[in-house]
Amino acid sequence: MNNLVLYEVKERVGYITLNRTEKRNALSFEFVNEIKSVFKKAENDEACKVIVLKANGEAFCAGADLGYLQQLQKNTDDENLADSKNLMELFRMIYVSPKVVISQINGPALAGGCGLATICDFSFATPNSTFGYTEVKIGFVPAIVMVFLVRKLGEQKARNLLLTGDVFDASKAFELGLINFLTDESLIDEEVAKFAQKLCKYASSQSLAMVKQMLGEVQQMNLDEGLIYAAQMNVKARKTEDCKRGISAFLNKEKLTW
């Protein structure tokens, strides 16, 4: 039996590859659990500085496994809640990860799979990629995805995507701001690796982690709360070894590679 999720590190970049190809990488409880487990492994791996999430097969992720979803309809509310929390924990893990996460999207990314593809810090997609939050078309709701999509795009754009359930191409996803880069299929491996290496070489791990932490927390604060929090984080940042090293290198005109 093939591993549902693959993991390898190349030049400080940890590649997490979805490998449930026979189901178009559709999300089941077991599959989500395995993705979470591998993400934890990457977060704790000192050899990995930046994480890339990609997929084998024709689809990046087709969303929820509908056969599994049908089984859940027979379960208790508590069992259904446990399943929903499992996916919630995966999305939150990616969103608050101290390491930068880049998604490499090739093929369809639909429903929960669209959320998984676009919740990452940076997203690369090929022209043959398609996107959509299609839950309303099968009588379901894009509940967990919604929390992150409203943060990412704002309410008006989120309403349009979530209420219509329309499927759209990568050009539209780029125009909306769902993805950051649109890249030819023959070049995407190279472009993602190049971008990841830029982060590895020219950005401090401690700084990246703190910026991600602040982005996750500052949005829920009012102006004064946000400014006080920012001032406190400045104090914290100045005490880090990376900040001391970076300022010293700048003042001494030394070339710095992180």
Active site residues: 135
Is the CB of residue 144 less than 8 Å from the CB of residue 87? Answer: yes
Closest listed residue to residue 157, CA positions, set 181, 139, 136, 173: 173
The three-state secondary structure class of 24 is coil
* Separation of alpha carbons 117 and 105, rounded Å: 7
Which value, to the nearest 10 degrees, does the dihedral of the CA atoms of residues 252, 253, 254, 258 take? 100
* Separation of alpha carbons 102 and 176, rounded Å: 18
Measured CA to CA in angstroms, residue 34 lies from 16, 59, 105, 207 at distances of: 11, 18, 19, 29
| HEC profile of 117-179 | HHCCCEEEECCCCEEECCHHHHCCCCHHHHHHHHHHHCHHHHHHHHHHCCEEEHHHHHHHCCC
* Separation of alpha carbons 256 and 230, rounded Å: 26
End-to-end CA distance of the chain: 39
- Phi, psi at 15, each rounded to 5°: -100, 115
